[in-house]
Copies of this chain bind each other. A is one copy, B any other.
Amino acid sequence: MVEPGQGPVGIIAGGQDLPFEVVEALQAAGRDYFLFGLVGEADVRIEFHPHVWLKWGEIGQLFRLIEQRGISELLCIGSITHRPDFRSIRLDLGAMRALPDIVRIMAGGGDESVLQGVARFFEKRGLTLVSVKDVAPSLVVGPDLSVGSDLAEQSKSDIALASRAALAIGAMDAGQGVVVAAGRILATEGPEGTDQMLERVSRIRHEKRARWDFGKEGVLLKRARPGQDLRFDMPTIGPRTIENVREAGLAGIVCAEGEVLCANRTHTIELARSNGLFLQAHALSDNAV
């Protein structure tokens, strides 16, 4: 095995743009890479890069290529729309050999513990799972993300409440997103994800189940769970988040500095600006009040 930071970065690629933004960042840094495109998820653009297509369960194939290519660092990135039904996955030979471990992971319960199991599974085989923060830090939002400067007092207190709520439920392993408007929690994010949560807020608005000053109040806050392993399912925003926040009638978005990915940053910022929304990264305290 090669030393970490030496060989190519193996990228297990889900859908949309983020895998290619990571590739660009690696190219800019002069790092080599190899893409494992998930069938049914990854974009066909991986064809322009060193790659192979993989189906769920083709772990044997994955490990064969990892060894062939001298990969020691592995990154999982991109959206997963079709979560596999693990009971229906057809496993290849490598996966069959790994079955006892896999069963142990699957039986591990909640999401976070399953992911920890996946990480250990790879580590036992001499691989390091890395996060976007490690290999493409430019994609993670920092204090430089700052669209719309003067926040109203109401927005500031909404942000504080949203942050506390995200911490409280995050400590119970749920929710990277919270929507607060006019001092009231409108939604906390569950497994449905941010887009569906924002659709719900739209519906609350249209059904007049809560009152706020549409477009002038209300914030979507995104932050990691306390102690969250950022190598998996890092909180992410992008152009669609902006569209949905506008549609929901909120005033803007606040991300926790260093904990959130911004896909298509240039386009995302432009969209926020042109819609008059704020979009900022704040240093959020980890202490619940």
A243 shortest CB reach to chain B, Å: 20
Number of copies: 2
Q: Which residue of B lies closest to A211 (CB)?
A: B86
Interface residues, chain A, with chain B CB atoms under 8 Å away: 82-83, 85-86, 109-111, 161, 164-165, 168-169, 171-175, 182-188, 190-193, 196, 200, 203-204, 207-211
Q: Check A174–B185 contact: CB distance below 8 A.
A: yes
Task: For the complex formed, measure the closest distance between the CB of A117 and the CB atoms of chain B, giving whole angstroms.
Answer: 14
Task: Choose one: B165, B187, B192; the contact of A204 (CB below 8 Å).
Answer: B192
From A288, which residue of chain B is reached at the shortest CB distance?
A: B168
Contact A184 B83 (CB under 8 A): no
User: Is there an interface contact between A175 and B185, defined as CB atoms closer than 8 Å?
Assistant: yes
**Measured CA separation A207–B196 after assembly (Å):** 12
Looking across the interface, which residue of chain B has its beta carbon closest to that of A185? B174
| Residues on B with beta carbons closer than 8 Å to the beta carbon of A204 | 190-192
**Shortest distance from the beta carbon of A87 to any chain B beta carbon, whole Å:** 9
Distance of A192 Cα from B202 Cα, bound (Å): 11
A-B contact pairs, 12 of them (CB 8 A): A109-B183, A110-B182, A165-B169, A165-B172, A169-B169, A172-B185, A173-B184, A175-B185, A187-B190, A191-B209, A192-B200, A200-B200
Max chain B Cβ within 10 angstroms of own Cβ: one of A82, A164, A190: A190
CB–CB A85/B172 < 8 A? no
Q: How far is the CB of A220 from chain B (nearest CB, A)?
A: 13
CA distance A85 to B207 in the complex (A): 10
Q: What separation, in Å, do the CA atoms of A211 and B188 have in the docked complex?
A: 19
- 5 tightest Cβ-Cβ pairs between the two chains A and B: A174-B185, A168-B168, A191-B209, A191-B210, A110-B183
Q: Known contacts A83-B209, A165-B169, A208-B83: does B174 contact A184 (CB below 8 Å)?
A: yes
Which one of B109, B161, B173, B203 lies within 8 Å of A172 (CB-CB)?
B161
- In the complex, which residues of chain B have a beta carbon less than 8 angstroms from the beta carbon of A196? 200, 203
Distance in angstroms from A3 CB to nearest chain B CB is: 37
Please report the C-alpha to C-alpha distance between residue A209 and residue B168 in the assembled complex, in whole angstroms: 22
